[in-house]
Amino acid sequence: MYTNDFDYYRADSVGEAVELLGDHDGAELVAGAHGLLPRMKTGDESPPALVDIGQLNGLDAIESSDGGSISVGALATHAEIADSEIVREHAAALADAASELGDPPVRNGGTIGGNLAHGDPRSDPPAALLALEGSLEVRGSDGERTIDAAELFEGPFETAVADDEIVTAVRIPTDDDAVSGYRKRRDPLSGYAMVGVGVWLRTDDETIEAARVAVTGATTTPARLSGVEDELEGSAVSEETITAAAAEAGTALDADAFVSDVQASAEYREHLLTIDTERALYDVLDVGQ
Amino acid sequence: MSEHNISVTVNGTHHELTVEPRTLLVSALREELGYTGANVGCETGRCGACTVRVDGETIKSCTRFAVQSDGAEIETVEGLADDGELSTLQEQFQENHGLQCGYCTPGMLMSADTFLRENEDPSREEIRDAIEGNLCRCTGYHNIVDAIEATADQLGEQR
Ligand SMILES: Cc1cc2nc3c(=O)[nH]c(=O)nc-3n(C[C@@H](O)[C@H](O)[C@H](O)COP(=O)(O)OP(=O)(O)OC[C@H]3O[C@@H](n4cnc5c(N)ncnc54)[C@H](O)[C@@H]3O)c2cc1C
Ligand code: FES
Ligand code: FES
């Protein structure tokens, strides 16, 4: 199975990649090709030119900085993130999402930058990024800027990363008093998320002080679940709180927000979202079950 | 149509070849270089029949353009046997009836071989997770897991 023909350029630096994108109309970056190549085979995407950043040095580092955040290089593979002690300790939701993604060779093949820039609504990492309130560091012809998770996901395969921009790193703020996690229900056919829920909570053991909960897979665009968050914040850490919060899972979303396909109708996905939100909360809170 | 000269090392042998950008790594290996061990099953990244090692890590060679692997060290199933003598893993697949039609076997072997390098004493559960990306249409999973477990045992005894 061949894709359409295209021109190929390899960039030796981020600056050169930005230039190559500017020089060639319609050119797209390629990192792991695990998001793009399957869609080029089916004809869903057909870029006339690809700019390969897969071999750029130094873009895969995972580091924690003193300023209360960790930085994950855009070319870090899902396997590297799943295995990283820094990510496990400070951004467990992202570590969970990376370990639940695909299978071992796929985790070696795909990168976090490509995953988040692509905007595949079935992807796992977006719910983790939203719950962790991470951001992307990007570089384009106009210089550098930061894209917050809340602004990133615009629609299916639409993100705020512009055509001439390169994601260089994912930054995640850290908080020693917070816990986070990601729970995935696999689509039995694709293995992507049919429903994925990311949670981040700060508690003083008795009360939930701050809550961030996000969905991917079930909806056409990954989104925060503000109904759940409102119910959690200020409530006691208890089974009752979890049940009440999970019941709000669909309330802040539009009726047409849910995906409907051969695997599950929109109504069923909405139902599953309540169940998986509840389970995701139990995963990180020290109560019952 | 543009073409690119690339070089790769496959099982220790250096190769130079010219590819179109859209040539898949698995096609380059099979059709240009004659390494037909990597099989083509689904071509969507799901089945794992095309699994090879690139710079020490397994990837599905149908989901990578050959040109992206310029300069890479590639290992295929042909490299597992030593001068015609099967590796322990290959022997255990034979011993435990770990293959039926054999179509998934090259990819299974590459995933299992890579996994066993880092996991000397794996549980059956861990073995199953390790071959999650390799589907066997003959569904001989029990025997495949047996073969990998037996390999770990045998290599452990030899250490
Ligand atoms: C069989 C299979 C199963 C999978 N299962 C899952 C799953 O369960 N869950 C999941 O979340 N994902 C899954 N994926 C996709 C995941 O592996 C990829 O990591 C991801 O979608 C794309 O990453 P990539 O590095 O391969 O990007 P590419 O495919 O190289 O690029 C994807 C897009 O992002 C752009 N891009 C790439 N890098 C950058 C960058 N640094 N800056 C700006 N733009 C960039 C490209 O131009 C392109 O538009 C699966 C893929 C396969 C093949
Ligand atoms: S042929 Fe590559 S994964 Fe099936
Ligand atoms: S032995 Fe036939 S597909 Fe696995």
Domain CATH number, residue A13: 3.30.43.10
Question: Are residues B55 and B97 both part of a single domain?
Answer: no
pLDDT digits (tens, 9 = 90+) for B72-91: 999 999 999 998 899 999 99
Question: Are residues A35 and A137 both part of a single domain?
Answer: no
Residues of chain A with pLDDT under 70: 289
Question: Are residues A169 and A68 both part of a single domain?
Answer: yes
Question: Are residues A156 and A107 both part of a single domain?
Answer: yes
- As a three-state string, the secondary structure of A1-30 is CCCCCCEEEECCCHHHHHHHHHHCCCCEEE
Question: Per residue in B119-139, is it b (16+ CB within 10 Å) or e — as a string?
Answer: eeebeeeebeebbebbbbeee
Confidence (pLDDT) at A271: 96
Confidence (pLDDT) at A75: 98
Instruction: Test B132 with A38 for CB contact under 8 angstroms.
Output: no
User: Residue holding tokens 């970056």?
Assistant: A29
Question: Are residues A189 and A238 both part of a single domain?
Answer: yes
Confidence (pLDDT) at A118: 98
pLDDT digits (tens, 9 = 90+) for A41-58: 999 999 999 999 999 999
Rounded to the nearest 5°, which phi and psi values hold at A179? -125, 155
Measured in Å, residue B26 CA sits from the centre of ligand 2 at 9
Q: What value does the mean pLDDT of chain B take? A: 97
Q: Which domain holds residue B75?
A: 4-79
Confidence (pLDDT) at B129: 97
A198 Cβ neighbours under 8 A, 6+ residues apart: A93, A97, A127, A128, A129, A130, A131, A132, A180, A181, A182, A213, A214, A215, A216, A280
Q: How far apart are CA A235 and CA A114, in angstroms?
A: 37
Measured in Å, residue B29 CA sits from the centre of ligand 1 at 23
Q: Provide ipTM, 2 decimals.
A: 0.97
Give yes or no for residue B143 having a pLDDT over 70: yes
Confidence (pLDDT) at B1: 62
Confidence (pLDDT) at A255: 79
Question: Are residues B31 and B13 both part of a single domain?
Answer: yes
Compute, in degrees rounded to 10, the torsion defined by CA atoms B105, B108, B110, B115: -150
Question: Are residues B48 and B68 both part of a single domain?
Answer: yes
Question: Are residues B144 and B95 both part of a single domain?
Answer: yes
| Residues of A whose CB is below 8 A from B71 | 55
- Helix ranges restricted to H, A153-247: 226-232, 239-246
- Determine contact, residues A207/A234, Cβ cutoff 8 Å: yes
Rounded to the nearest 5°, which phi and psi values hold at A145? -155, 175
Q: Which atom of ligand 2 is nearest to the CA of B135?
A: 4
pLDDT digits (tens, 9 = 90+) for B86-121: 999 999 999 999 999 999 999 999 999 999 999 999
Q: Which two tokens stand for residue A209?
A: 């002080």
Confidence (pLDDT) at A66: 75
Confidence (pLDDT) at A289: 61
User: Residue holding tokens 């995972």?
Assistant: A62
- Determine contact, residues B51/B32, Cβ cutoff 8 Å: no
Instruction: Test B67 with A52 for CB contact under 8 angstroms.
Output: yes
The domain that contains A116 carries what CATH number?
A: 3.30.465.10
